[in-house]
Chains A and B, each alone.
Chain A
């Protein structure tokens, strides 16, 4: 069965630092990939998604992610984080079972 691993459970950064959150999935077939963000007290919302085409995907708020098929990875990056990026970030994979499977999430804290 598909599984999604997010190895960074808690990341603490200062403003302007660069961010990279890891995401790996287990199933090697056709996949769609997502990053969702959950700000404190708010609902899960889509940050970016990959369905096909350019493996480097740009999302909202300056985030991007790169799909590397050979590594089963879809890491999230942002060159310079802001305090307002403090949130929990979830990677998710949708494969040919049509189920959207999530990782455990990474809590990001950004300090001014």
Chain B
């Protein structure tokens, strides 16, 4: 256990569906992240939240919508996804956003878009 919990572990959705990924951390961290892990590609940083404010949005399509209601929870709302969005979505947290900080990862949500 890393202290970062993601649900669901697996998700299959159609291109017209709306679903949400949930991440929860019990580490008292102030920064949370969404990454996308696709085969043979580097982990892609999608969003960063620091103290519940979005500080980074790496040119992610609007069909991905993050939400951080408090410092312990992070959501990724999904709608009208494409098959190429199928990937492992990883949530991470760190004490602070910045250098000299180590990220702790959840086990990920394996998303398949059909």
Binding site for B on A (CB under 8 A): 4, 9, 30, 32, 34, 36, 42-46, 49, 51, 90, 92, 94-96, 98-105
Contact = CB atoms under 8 A, between A and B. Distances in A.
B100 A101 contact: no
How many residues of B sit at the interface, in one of the four size bands? 20 to 34
A32 B99 CA distance: 7
Interface stretch (B14-22, B41-49, B76-84): B41-49
Contacts of B90: 44
A98 B41 contact: no
Contact of A104 (B40, B98, B102): B40
B42 to A, nearest CB: 5
Interface of B: 2, 4, 33, 35, 40-43, 45, 48, 56, 90, 92, 97-108
B98 to A, nearest CB: 5
B102 A101 contact: no
Given A4-B42, A90-B43, 12 more contacts: A30-B99, A32-B99, A43-B2, A45-B105, A51-B99, A96-B99, A100-B45, A100-B103, A101-B45, A102-B43, A104-B41, A105-B42
